[in-house]
Amino acid sequence: MGRTGRDCLAKHLPDLKERLEPDIVIVNGENAAHGLGITGKICKDFYALGVDVITTGNHIWDQREILSYIDRDPKLLRPLNFPENTPGKGFILHPLQDGRKILVINAMARLFMDPMEDPFKVVMDLVKEHPLGRACDATFIDFHSEATSEIMAFGHYLDGKVSAVVGTHTHIPTADAHIMEHGTAFQADAGMTGDFDSVIGVRKDISIHRFTRKIPGERMVPASGEPTLCGVLIETNDPTGLAKNIAPVRIGGILREEIPDF
């Protein structure tokens, strides 16, 4: 969320990579440019930090330069269920150095969001084209959802067919990290990387004014206090591609720290 979040990622990601040794690092960057979208320069800065794939959501087009940039950057995803012929792609089959392949899918919910193609059907069709354990060794889905009911239904719908379903968009990390009945890791929202002494990353005074006065005020500005890095760590089973472990990651700021120990 804004420069504060970007600085937080730059501060903590190198150490996290050394401590946790992840095979792939996926970052949702749709609020990276002052809370509104992402730029090509920010993408390149993230890759320089060790980010492998960038997902987004409903703010993907807030910086107009992305319309011409996204087709040149296969690692920057937009939601898969945008209309046909929308610039960019909603998935990537990311190769690891040892030959394994990870399918990363970005999709967006419909409840309380802009009208989109049905994410349940669109994602299931893609998953069937890339079956876990045959076409890919792991499948990760960033489901950009306003409603926890929709993300939970989406997780159960794909349980056993993908490695992990993790939500983004609400900016609040949920306490429901677990492995579903048939082996899919799930957390309804990974949380934001930004200042939590705020209203979902926006300065408190601006948000309070909007709620109490119901008239336009100052433009939404990201809060700039001490930030927290939020995310999840997922471990998969190599023979099946299903999940073995999932745990939240939280470092810095006002939230309680959580570092996985597996």
- For residues 20 and 10, give the distance between their C-alpha atoms in angstroms, rounded to a whole number: 16
Q: Which residues are catalytic?
A: 59
For the packed helices 148-158 and 119-129, what is the interaxial angle rounded to 10 degrees?
30
Give the pLDDT mean for 147-167: 98
How much is the pTM?
0.96
Overall number of domains in the chain: 1
Residue 86 lies in domain: 2-251
**Non-local CB neighbours of 23 within 8 Å, separated by 6+ positions:** 96, 100, 102
Q: Look at residue 260 and tell me if it is in a domain.
A: no
CB under 8 Å to 197, separation ≥6 — which residues?
204, 223, 225, 226, 253, 254
Count CB neighbours of 216 within 10 A.
Answer: 8
Residues 188-244 pLDDT 10s: 999 999 999 999 999 999 999 989 988 877 788 999 999 999 999 999 999 999 999
pLDDT digits (tens, 9 = 90+) for 61-71: 999 999 999 99
**Cα–Cα–Cα angle for 166, 172, 176, rounded to 5 degrees:** 50
Tell me the C-alpha distance between 48 and 108, whole Å: 27
CATH code for the domain of 160? 3.60.21.10
